Structure 1
Amino acid sequence: MAEFWPVADVLAHLAGRWRVERDVRDLASGERGHFRGMTVFGSLEGGGLLHEESGTFTWQGVARPATRTLRFLPGPTPGSADVRFADGRPFHALDLGSGRYVAEHPCAADLYLGEFTVLDADRWHTVWRVGGPAKDLVLATDYVREG
């Protein structure tokens, strides 16, 4: 049985720089991709954190720059956050008070199911399973604190 690292204050825990490694598997085609880069959780005006991810995504042998921006807003408890897309649309809730959380995000005909696990003070992991008429993906990401 896996052990999880409970997080009393999710925004304080995530603040800073994290090295990111993400494996992407297309279960229908068998194709695999890989993202390698950095995520920075910086202060957001009005409270919360701005999540800015940048790096290189390699798919079918072609490497391309890739970025993503999210907003982590304070949740109802210190161990939780309200995760939003860059434009403010809701993405999912996040509660790492126990060190593990399962999130859900319906997106058009697709369903994103995410599992977040905190391994220790400097490492956490996510697995997103994306299913729908045109998607059958697994995205597994490891985060390791920088410095």
Structure 2
Amino acid sequence: MGEFWPVPDALAYLAGRWSVARSVRDLASGAEGEFTGTTEFRAEEDGGLLHHESGTFVWQGVARPAERTLRFLPGPDGTVDVRFADGRPFHGLDLTSGRYVADHPCAADLYRGAFTVRDADHWRTVWRVRGPAKDLVLRTGYAREG
């Protein structure tokens, strides 16, 4: 088996509960942090998934509760249209090859996310954020629970 695990239907793959471990590094200042928690993808009436992440974010030694919500809507041929909780577009997601790169412009900064699926129960993202306001790398590993 290769480095990537093809996923014909991203929503079916993502559904359920995942443990999350994320490292955050500010390349400009050298500051580092980490998030640990869970992500749950719950079915919605429109055929999509509500993505809710919650846990603890530790930044420079200070721990704070953190959470975020996204909506994963069905796209053509097993792909996903990822949206912010308020409905604004975030990025597309196509895991049919087991790997996908998404771009999201945010003001003058550019978020570029690389998604890779390792097997039935593990996937990861690496977001690189570059621009006048941010210079970050966020690495997240997901492991299926239960």
TM-score range, shorter chain: over 0.9
When the two structures are superposed, what TM-score results if normalisation uses the length of structure 2? 0.98
- Kindly state the Cα deviation for residue 118 of structure 1 after the two structures are TM-superposed: 0.1
Q: 1:73: which partner in 2?
A: 73
SS in 2 for 1:11: helix
The CA distance in 2 between the partners of 1:46 and 1:137, in whole Å, is 34
SS in 1 for 2:96: coil
Q: Does residue 19 of structure 2 align to residue 45 of structure 1?
A: no
The CA distance in 2 between the partners of 1:97 and 1:134, in whole Å, is 33
When the two structures are superposed, what TM-score results if normalisation uses the length of structure 1? 0.97
Q: 1:32: which partner in 2?
A: 32
| Runs of 4 or more consecutive aligned structure 1 residues displaced over 2 Å after TM superposition | none
The CA distance in 2 between the partners of 1:92 and 1:77, in whole Å, is 16
Q: 1:122: which partner in 2?
A: 121
Q: 2:136: which partner in 1?
A: 137
Q: Does residue 97 of structure 2 align to residue 98 of structure 1?
A: yes
SS in 1 for 2:11: helix
SS in 2 for 1:29: coil
The CA distance in 2 between the partners of 1:109 and 1:44, in whole Å, is 33
The CA distance in 2 between the partners of 1:90 and 1:48, in whole Å, is 14
The CA distance in 2 between the partners of 1:137 and 1:64, in whole Å, is 19
Unaligned runs of 5+ in 2: none
SS in 1 for 2:46: coil
Q: Write the deviation string for residues 10-49 of structure 1: whole angstroms up to 9, x where unpaired.
A: 1010000000000000000001000000000001121110
**C-alpha RMSD over aligned residues:** 0.7
The CA distance in 2 between the partners of 1:111 and 1:117, in whole Å, is 20
Matched residue type, 1:95:
D
